[in-house]
């Protein structure tokens, strides 16, 4: 599969999953160019039919330290408003990627970096670096979805503690609070990510898309409406080749392809 070139991103493809690597040294700050590249890579991912899982990772010692404050300080108030909206829209685009997504957090993950990770389905972190929202210590608030996604993930009180305090939490604290799903030794990060991707991508790509749609679209609805969303998602796979092949494989007692 041919991959596009981006100024602040690199794409690595293997098997049937892709890794999007942030390459904006020294801390992979969210510059205007990086946000633009993330927008572009979302469009590229949605066009791919042979990718079942996407991983977001950072090059170097940091996943993403948040906004590019050096770039931000020279902006007008109107420009700041626009770029914050652009970041929020971009992270929503990541959230809406139709296939499973995983943030592989290596090192520091602060502010907008954490908001990027929260836009993914899962988060796995190496046992080094820190994670948190520093915004209130800078006279601002998380503006890329953090005030909305974190409470939905870990509950209102814990989320308020994370955001109000502006603390940098350890990976162990993040795991205890439910902000991350897995904590691994730094040397095991790539191996564990590969194992998770292999486990997920061994299943039907169409079923993965349908179940992600059912969960995401039904989550904030009343149960009865959520069940209707589930049925609509189920209908999309009834006549699929994936389902037919899986049934044949079951009857023959072998793994489906």
Catalytic machinery residues:
115, 135
3-state secondary structure of 125: strand
Tell me how far apart the alpha carbons of residues 186 and 78 are, in angstroms, rounded to a whole number. 41
Distances (CA, A) of 25 to 58, 82, 209: 10, 24, 33
> Are the CB atoms for 127 and 148 separated by under 8 Å?
no
Q: Among the residues of 74-204, which ranges form H helices?
A: 77-95, 112-118, 146-154, 156-165, 171-177, 189-201
3-state secondary structure of 13: strand
Q: Which residues of 57-77 are buried (b: 16+ CB within 10 A; e: fewer)?
A: bbbbebbbbbbbeeebeeeee
From the CB of residue 104, how many other CB atoms can be counted at a distance below 10 Å?
A: 27
> Are the CB atoms for 3 and 85 separated by under 8 Å?
no
Tell me how far apart the alpha carbons of residues 177 and 24 are, in angstroms, rounded to a whole number. 29
């Amino acid at each position: 599969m041919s991959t596009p070139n981006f100024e602040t991103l690199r794409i690595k493809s293997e098997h049937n999953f892709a890794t999007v690597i942030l390459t904006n040294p020294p801390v992979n700050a969210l510059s205007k160019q990086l946000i633009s590249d993330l927008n572009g890579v979302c469009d590229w991912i949605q066009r791919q039919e042979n990718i079942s899982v996407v991983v977001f990772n950072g090059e170097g010692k940091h996943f993403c330290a948040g906004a590019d404050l050096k770039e931000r300080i020279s902006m007008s108030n109107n420009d700041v408003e626009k770029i914050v909206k652009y970041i929020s829209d971009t992270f929503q685009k990541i959230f809406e990627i139709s296939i499973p997504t995983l943030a592989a957090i290596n090192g520091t993950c602060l502010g907008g970096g954490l908001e990027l990770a929260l836009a993914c389905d899962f988060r796995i972190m190496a046992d080094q670096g820190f994670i948190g929202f520093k915004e209130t210590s800078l006279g601002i608030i998380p503006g890329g979805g953090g005030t909305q996604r974190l409470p939905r993930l870990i509950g209102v009180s814990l989320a308020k503690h994370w955001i109000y305090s502006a603390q940098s939490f350890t990976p162990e604290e993040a795991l205890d609070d439910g902000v991350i799903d897995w904590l691994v030794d730094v040397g095991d990060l790539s191996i564990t990510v590969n194992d998770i991707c292999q486990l997920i991508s061994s299943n039907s790509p169409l079923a993965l898309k349908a179940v992600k749609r059912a969960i995401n679209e039904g989550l904030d609805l009343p149960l009865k409406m959520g069940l209707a969303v589930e049925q609509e998602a189920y209908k999309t796979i009834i006549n699929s080749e994936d389902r037919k092949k899986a049934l044949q494989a079951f009857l023959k007692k072998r793994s489906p392809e």
